[in-house]
Amino acid sequence: MENSGSHKNGATTSPGKILLVEDEESVRYSLELALSTSGYHVTTASDGIKGLAWVMATSRFTDTFDLMIMDVMMPMMNGISLLGKLKHFKVIIPTLVITGCSDAETLTKLRESGATDILRKPFEPDALLAKVSELLARKAQISHTDVNPTGVKTAFVA
């Protein structure tokens, strides 16, 4: 598992903890740079299995990820399978899917699997940052991390 965290100007607090799951190293690095430069604490994973491991490792604690950003087409475990595993384990995390797919069937499967939003590639860093800010603001308005009556740990209620 890869892990990288940054805080803008050495600040000790961060506007959000983000898990970035992207198999293409250059894309992962560029997205991590854009996010960390904007003050987000970023943890990276190079495939769906590593992303799932990060989510499962932190889902038992109150210090969970605020948002997951992930690609769809990845080796080992694709984005749809990753969302399905999270649903199976009853872990709810807001998820921004970044994809070059324009296939309506895939986009529908992503939404049905639990994707909070989808950002189509190619996109400018400002578009990503705006979408991240929007999703984190929505998460803050709807629910803070808590345990619901069923005992399922939730970081977000869609």
Domains of the chain, with CATH numbers? Answer: 16-154 (3.40.50.2300)
Residue 106: its pLDDT value, please?
A: 87
Decide the pairing of beta strands 117-120 and 95-99: parallel
Give the pLDDT score at 158: 37
Task: Render each residue's pLDDT in the chain as its tens digit; 158 residues.
Answer: 444 444 333 333 447 899 999 999 999 999 999 999 999 999 999 999 999 999 988 877 666 899 999 999 998 899 999 999 998 988 888 999 999 888 888 888 899 888 999 999 899 999 999 999 999 988 877 655 444 433 434 444 33
The set of residues, in sequence order, having a beta carbon less than 8 Å from that of 132 and lying 6+ positions away, is 16, 18, 35, 40, 67, 69, 96
Which residue is it, tokens 């940054």? Answer: 6
CB 58 within 8 A of CB 22: no
Q: Is 65 exposed, middle or buried (0-12, 13-18, 19+ CB in 10 A)?
A: buried
Spatial contact of 118 and 79, defined as CB atoms under 8 Å apart: no
Distance CA 133, CA 89 (A): 27
The one-letter amino acid code at 31 reads L
Q: What is the pLDDT of residue 89?
A: 87
- Where in 9-157 does DSSP place strands (E)? 17-21, 41-45, 67-71, 95-99, 117-120, 146-147, 153-154
Contacts of 156 (CB under 8 A, 6+ apart): 92, 93, 94, 116, 139, 142, 143
Q: Note the pTM of the prediction, 2 decimals.
A: 0.79
Q: Quick one: pLDDT at residue 103?
A: 87
